Chain A
């Protein structure tokens, strides 16, 4: 195998190794302790879950009210 091909294989292993070491770090630093909680991370007090944003083409009342759109309630309900 030429030096170039060897470098390619080693770099590929380095990329996988980087991924694996990220994973091990995540595992041992407790990132996976309470996984489902992570889904709330994009939200905070200022922009809480349950509040739509960016409804620029909607009516005024669609903007920030936490009411389901027509038909949505039924679908969401069946999922719970």
Chain B
């Protein structure tokens, strides 16, 4: 059997897209709501870093509540919900079956949103769990976990009912992600991590694995689909892509303990983690070479596609952030940059320059195809790209630049601690400026999607993106 060839009773991609419409749009729109909410929180938190008295009188607006809520809304709201929508759409296309349990997934998504809303209020009210990435009270994590399990069940059903024999590399990533994330969520909710050191170990095991075994697989699955799809050219080496996947599957899950270098945990815990972090260079370089060799020479096709602009930016960021992470995990580097703004910026390259930009790119491809409608403005898409790309670059350069100096000052006993704080202030202002740029980008993105879904005002006269839409308009 040829791969991709039609078996009897196989739906065409446009039929699959039509069936995916309500579920995927619901998940993406929920994600965008949380993106906007989380962006607002991010701006408030960022401004507070250099205007400490601003909004400081009300308890629920203090930094210790706004900043964790920013993280949780972005992780469990924007990236997880939109990521799940993108993942289900990709699986439907690559397995050639409609998304299973569609009604249940919508119900699960509603429950997820409500649980996240209640959890957000709880965090603002001061009832946070006090563990980074896990601030949501366990009572609100459990409904989210159950929602993920419903999606995982849908994924397994799609896998069993699939109409193609061979699994594409994106499918490997996505199956693994939907197996690993529920496991992480279950373990992190167990009430056994009560001593501080064990809790810290669980904390970073969980937080790093959510990034590496949930968001990264979804992001890479999207890259492995959209790069060949937009260029109309298969991936450079399919064998390499599989090597990259199995490398991630075997090496990633020990990485988290490198956050505890110098902490009161057994040395072998940390040493294994450092080794695993360095071993991640193999799958990362493999992915980077593969993507580079596929894209090389097609720069104009990348520029001409809103999807690939974001996706290629995100793929390059993945290489950068992963190699940087492997270096940061070394004890000698870590003793300088630990507890500085360098690490904050590193996390944002991972979650923003890689995951978020990848999801933006995926949305630009998916939404016209499931709604059969056209983006209203090419110019605004370009604005969205440049505002967010320049924003995250300023963010990274400012915070990682000063982070190194901050780190060297902090380990120098001759420098008073207050100096290590005040020296960062101009760079924190630069971060707020970059935050405004990214916020503007997000508002443009939300506006584009609002115009597409609720269709106020004039509609675009000539469809641009997709031959099928063009043919429909012509007929």
Measuring CB to CB, which residues of chain A are less than 8 angstroms from any residue of chain B? 2-5, 7-8, 11-12, 14-16, 18-20, 22-23, 26, 30-32, 34-58, 62-64, 66, 69-72, 75-76
Contacts and interface: CB of A to CB of B under 8 A. Distances in A.
A14 B172 CA distance: 17
A23 B249 contact: yes
26 contacts: A4-B193, A4-B202, A7-B192, A12-B205, A14-B183, A15-B253, A16-B253, A18-B249, A36-B239, A38-B166, A42-B94, A43-B4, A43-B228, A44-B5, A46-B13, A47-B13, A53-B305, A54-B229, A54-B365, A54-B466, A56-B381, A56-B465, A58-B304, A58-B305, A69-B300, A72-B298
A20 B301 CA distance: 38
A38 B466 CA distance: 25
A5 B307 contact: no
A37 to B, nearest CB: 5
Given A39-B234, A41-B168, A54 B307 contact: yes
Interface in B11-62: 12-14
Contacts of A50: 232-233
B175 interface: yes
B304 to A, nearest CB: 4
Nearest to B381: A56
A9 to B, nearest CB: 9
Q: Is the interface of B mostly helix, strand, loop or mixed?
A: helix
B194 interface: yes
Interface in B330-363: none
Nearest to B192: A4
Interface residues of B, number: 79
B172 A22 contact: yes
A47 to B, nearest CB: 6
A11 B187 contact: yes
Contacts of A62: 300-301, 304
B278 interface: no
B234 A8 contact: no
A66 B232 contact: yes
B253 to A, nearest CB: 4
B474 interface: no
Given A36-B238, A37-B166, A75 B250 contact: no
Interface in B199-250: 199, 201-202, 205, 209, 213, 225, 228-235, 237-239, 241-242, 246, 249-250
Given A7-B187, A49-B232, A41 B166 contact: yes
B254 A52 contact: no
Q: Which of B13, B232, B375, B464 has its CB near the most chain A CB atoms (within 10 A)?
A: B232
B4 A71 contact: no
Given A15-B180, A44-B6, A54-B308, A3 B192 contact: yes
B183 A72 contact: no
B232 A52 contact: yes
Given A4-B194, A54-B307, A19 B202 contact: no
B238 A39 contact: yes
Contacts of B176: 18-19, 22
Q: Which of A3, A8, A51 has its CB near the most chain B CB atoms (within 10 A)?
A: A8
B125 interface: no
Interface in B88-127: 93-94
A30 B269 CA distance: 37
B221 to A, nearest CB: 11
Nearest to B169: A38
